[in-house]
Structure 1
Amino acid sequence: MPTSSTVITFGTFDVFHVGHLRVIERAAALGDRLVVGVSADALNVSKKGREPVFSQDERLAIVGALRWVDEVFVEESLELKRDYIVAHGARTLVMGDDWTGKFDEFEDICQVVYLPRTPAISTTAIVEKISTGS
């Protein structure tokens, strides 16, 4: 069992915005160490049906540069979440509340916390706004 209280979270973190910043900051406050899984480019395509605006290497660099983040890694598959939690010794899994209930199966190995999303902001909305010019 790890001596520190490790928190883990996952996301694409494409077109990084204040909503991403807030969830990472709040996740970090729940433990001593924050580990972030950044979705692989291929995983993003399978989840969202489009290539990310920024490559996985760029997104890893952005998220890894944040003062609250202790470690970043590439999340290759949604089906490996349990393995990632165990491998990183996480005691808490944090996800946005748009995922409420979807990760309760991991409560046998860690606490699962769903944080409220920042209202009226999403990468999808930002990309749409940029592409339509409105």
Structure 2
Amino acid sequence: MARNVITYGTFDMFHVGHLRLLQRLRNLGDRLIVAVSTDEFNAAKNKKAIIPYEGRAEIVGSLKIVDQVIPEHSWDQKAADIKKYDISVFGIGDDWSGKFDHLKVHCEVVYLPRTPDVSSSALRRMARALDPEMIERLREVHAVLDQMVRNFE
């Protein structure tokens, strides 16, 4: 029987900390499912990603260690996802330590150490320090580059 692992996150401005977390999670089982927060869910959390959901999901899904990407629509979906995907391990960064212990009735819950000196929150703080117009231009550049890549394929 396959040992399925699941994690959740926004995965905005994908960086080496994200990669290392996903690698460690993949090593805990046979399959890794990653739930990427939708733009709508981020808005409900008062977060706004630089990269839209579709791009973030595509980046995460392109990793050979990730077997499946699903959308994260709400805080409440985790228990249902654990049952639906026959999850053995729910894993997430230790910055969430203790917050998901209620899921232990469904599966093993692990909190993995973060990569030192790497943080999306720090990157977002730097982005907020930029002129809001600059942030919007970054989103526009991302959209243009994304379209160029799609046209090239």
- TM-score normalised per structure 2: 0.81
1-side partners of 2:65 and 2:29: how far apart? 11
Larger helix percent? 2
Unaligned runs of 5+ in 2: 131-153
* Pairing 1:96–2:76 present: no
One-letter code aligned to 1:30? L
Per-residue CA deviations over 1:21-74 (Å, capped at 9, x if unaligned) read: 010000000000000000011111222x23210111101100000010000010
The aligned length equals 130
2-side partners of 1:128 and 1:97: how far apart? 20
| Larger RCO, structure (CA 8 Å, separation 6 or more) | 1
Runs of 4+ in structure 1 displaced over 3 angstroms? 130-133
2-side partners of 1:100 and 1:131: how far apart? 27
Q: What corresponds to 1:26 in structure 2?
A: 24
One-letter code aligned to 2:20? R
Superposition deviation, residue 83 in structure 1: 0.6
2-side partners of 1:18 and 1:42: how far apart? 25
Structure number with larger C-alpha Rg:
2
**Aligned counterparts, 1:1-134, within 5 A:** 3-47=1-45, 49-132=46-129
Structure-2 change in CA distance of 1:109 and 1:131 (3 Å)? closer
1-side partners of 2:108 and 2:124: how far apart? 33
DSSP 3-state at the match of 2:32: strand
Unaligned runs of 5+ in 1: none
2-side partners of 1:86 and 1:23: how far apart? 23
- Mean Cα deviation higher: 15-24 or 38-47: 38-47
Task: Please provide the CA RMSD for this pair.
Answer: 1.2
Superposition deviation, residue 130 in structure 1: 4.2
DSSP 3-state at the match of 2:48: coil
